[in-house]
A and B are shown apart, each in its own frame.
Chain A
Amino acid sequence: MAFIKLNDLEIEVEDGTNIVEAARQHGIEVPHYCYHPGLSRPANCRMCLIDLYLRSSEMPERQLATGCTTTVRSAPPERKLDGKYDVIVRTDSPRVIKAREDILEFLLVHHPLDCAVCDQAGECDLQDFSYRHGHDKSRYLEVKNVPPKKDLGPDILLYSTRCIVCTRCIRFCDEVSGSGELGLINRGSHDEIDIPRSHEGVPIQLLDNKLAGNVVDICPVGALISKDFLFKSRPWFMKKQNSICSGCSVGCNITVEYKEDGLYRIKPRFHEDINQHWMCDDGRLGYHYVNSDDRLQLPLKRVDGELATTQWSDALSLITERISEVEAEEIVVIGSAQGTNEDNYVLQQFAHDVLKTTQLGLFGQQPGEEHKFPQFTIEADKNPNTAGARTVLGSANGNTVLEGDALWEKVADAKVVYLISGVPERSLESTEKEALEKVNFLIVQDILHSEVAELADVVLPGTTFAEKDGTFTNSTGWVQRIRKTIDPPGEAQADWEITQQLAKQLGGEIDYHFAGEIAIAISENVQGYDDATHQNIGDAGVKLD
């Protein structure tokens, strides 16, 4: 640990911490643009200048130092200042304040000041720091540079006029995605970010790697813009909720930004051991199904071969009727790897205690491709909770959970199948389809008019990750929380609530009031989940042993 004096604070920081981070930990803002904790530090924006006292506590070093590249270390006793400080830093001295003003003035000379139409307004570092550290008027009378607006890739637009050439995006593509699509063209004040182009200006390589969306997040100004979010909303009108991405088994920490009428944007949230600062575009842009008009809003039942909407009471009594007609061993219950641990726990309780069946299966999205990047991996398993669902479903009876061909063989022989899907966009393979067609009475709980719902006799409208509380267990054993943001469409309900109602109809005694209660039950009954209560998990998650 190093003992430093930061302005008038005496603080202890870990060796190797830079001044920007050390100050941030103690509530002092050192404005910066090019520095990003997940990237290398070129110190080119010159915004984080600080006064550094290395040799004397009276006189600072002649040159201002950059806070991002200045790391603190404990000094040998003879080099300590005033006998105790390893270094003294001032972020509020007159010349530091002047230097910030000067740099901000330079940053704004060619800036179009088009905040009124800029997507970033409201969450723009240039805006914020100008407001807090800058001049109130410009002395620039000359002509501003107007570099062109560029289409960099499927989801990325570059408004070059707003760019401050901090090169975060370039470093991201070099260091994290390793794909290196971005670079600087021209020189000096004509610097522009661009993708490789032929002499005619035709793109040779688009910014289309699966991590490309991150450059929009790390852009401190409104230069890199997501086409998906462009002109949709002002940031301050959206509410935010911490959650977990449901796109694959990595379990990236995310922030869901939403309004009453649906989700607007998903951004990654820092988690040191899972996704650091990043997430992939599949997860980032894959939320649209939540807002889809195609969402199931009411239960459906098959009438004359066609699915028609019905009342919940009607659907539930129909199911109760058909289930009571068959033997326990003729029923197969299939949980979802898209569902939360809570959903699956209630489901296994339902199967075990009410239906008395031991035939439990697991359904989920088909595996996709694994993508490995220098500092990021997208898993092949496209379900957020395969590990959790498997453990929780099999917890009560110690049964193995049926998956793949073994499951579909059982399904083909079954009379009643209760299948929870919740998978956005999944096509059925022929074996799966054939097996499901053979079932006498197929209950499907889903979110969209999917292929599997089309085969059902009764369809119950479930919810997506954005509409319920619960936990996901990722592939590396982290149990993390998802949180409800918006209300489910129509009369759709959380999956565990539907299961619980079914159980009650069938005379079962499952009675939970909220997801956290189920999590407590899981922590008591499922091996390894001892600490995984919602209270413990919080925003950081809990790692299973």
Chain B
Amino acid sequence: MVQERRILYEHLDVPNINTFDVFRQHEGYTRFEKTIAEYQPEDIAKMVMDSGLKGRGGAGFSTGLKWSFVPRDIEPRYLCCNADESEPGTFSNRYVLEKNPHLLIEGILICCYAMGIETTYVYIRGEFTLGKKMLDAAIKEAYEQGYLGENVRDTGLNINIYTHPGAGAYICGEETGLIESLEGKRGQPRNKPPFPAVEGVFMKPTVVQNVETLCNLPFIVGNGVDWYTKMGPTYADMRNDPPTPDPNTGTKLYCISGDVNEPGVYELDLGLTCSELIEVAGGLRGEEVKAVIPGGSSAPILTHYELDTRLDFTSLTLAKSMLGSGGIIVMNETRNIVDCLLNIMKFYAHESCGQCTPCRWGTPWVRDIVQRIADGEGRQTTITRPKFGITESGRWGDTGETEEVYEDLDLLENVANNIANVDTMTWNTICVFGIAVSWPAVSYLRKFRPEFEAAIREGKLVTLPVAEATVPPEENYAYQQRIIPKEFADL
């Protein structure tokens, strides 16, 4: 039985940990003091790079690498803490903000010291009223104690933190959408490049980090890189010669919801399998697992064939899914996948910012098609299209055969792929919202096609038994990476 390893959440349940005094009794701010006493800013940046810390917000981009892109000669630079936590199924940052806000402040201080940043904006999701209240109170205390403000702890650094509530838009969790919103504009993502590291808040170099990422910093500094890298697997990237290490180090705050007996946030080492995680969360509620969403609603779904998939950044990428924000939603045999997709598509159609064409008019279209199928109004007509599958060469491609598919299912797959193509991983949109829409749409459809077909055939939602509802891995491109030899090996 896998045990939780509480690091970020270690003192979460300590009464009054949100106050400075109690936080101080639990090693609070000692890591920051160690930082300024023992390390130069460059040392911290190097430690973060060596630790292999990957951004916990969703993309899993190496934090150290991101920091290295920030030009040091342009003043001012900003730190922007993303506390917008808007991905459905994700609720881990919220507890940090509400219960242990000083930990976040300490993380911010370390980052500011490392990057020579004096101004930090914490963009908090508008619905987190309690979280914002707690963080504001903690910031006030930190100012009083001299950890914020002018000349922090005699380092000569002036560090200020401003909190900014969002207005409830999903897209403001995207870093450039967040920056636009922070600047007082419509929350619409910017074109990249330039990336925020070069031109971010007010067109100045900006480090945008998730709450969880920043909260990792005190522990990396406090306990050392060696301690940190022992947690979680490090893979070897075989695409490079010699193979380069691909670290998935540290712990992750997994938010487990859905059909488990004890849903909640669990802090676990990266690299556990799906089944292990369900066990940790009190086991499945119901007979059998039908599907697991591994990284928030935008992540491609995993089937019961894939429960041995390790939940870390690299493994999930290889499984053609993503860890994202770690919002894991478990579904049992009673769940109808068409209905689930409809729910998710309603959300995305509502949350599209409407800036660029494919997403603005593609997402409601996808929703409407799914709605039609779910209402039992899917068209009975079929079309013949080339059948794709594993070709003789062992790779995915046109098999030369044809297949009959319901016209609506072909349309659904096609429209979603026109927003962002999940096979080639190219998107015609400005930001990755496009792929966040087509990923679930296409993966649900491909992996649970029988259930979609049943809904059209029967003219109503039909929940099939798990074995019947799921397309086996051999037959579908959605699983392709599991068939073709892995490019990554255990180090």
Contacts and interface: CB of A to CB of B under 8 A. Distances in A.
Contacts of A142: 364-365, 368-369, 372
Given A105-B418, A189-B349, A46 B191 contact: no
Contacts of B263: none
B428 A64 contact: yes
Contact of A189 (B169, B360, B415): B360
B73 to A, nearest CB: 21
Contacts of B372: 141-142
Contacts of A383: none
Interface string A91-134: 00001000100110111011000000000000000000000000
B273 interface: no
Interface in A20-74: 42-47, 49, 62-64, 66, 69
A260 B195 CA distance: 56
Interface in B384-421: 411, 415, 418
A64 B424 CA distance: 11
Given A106-B362, A142-B365, A184 B357 contact: no
Interface string B29-47: 0000000000000000000
Nearest to A33: B357
Contacts, number: 89
A164 interface: yes
A506 B354 CA distance: 73
Nearest to A41: B191
Contacts of B352: 187-189
Nearest to A167: B355
B409 to A, nearest CB: 13
A62 B354 contact: no
A47 B357 contact: yes
B354 A191 contact: yes
**Interface bin, chain B:** 20 to 34
B394 to A, nearest CB: 22
B354 A165 contact: yes
Interface residues of A, number: 35
Contacts of A141: 372
Contacts of B186: 184
A189 B361 contact: yes
Contacts of A143: 368
Contact of A63 (B353, B356, B427): B427
A103 B358 contact: yes
A189 B358 contact: no
A149 interface: no
A229 interface: no
A141 to B, nearest CB: 8
Contact of A64 (B350, B365, B426): B426
A190 interface: yes
Interface in B359-376: 360-365, 368-369, 372
A231 interface: no
Contacts of A191: 354, 360
B425 interface: yes
9 contacts: A43-B356, A46-B356, A95-B426, A141-B372, A164-B357, A165-B360, A187-B354, A188-B354, A189-B361
- Considering the complex of A and B, which 7 residue pairs feature the smallest CB-CB distances, nearest first? A142-B368, A102-B418, A188-B352, A191-B354, A188-B354, A189-B364, A106-B361
Interface of A: 42-47, 49, 62-64, 66, 69, 95, 99, 102-103, 105-107, 109-110, 139-143, 164-165, 184, 186-191
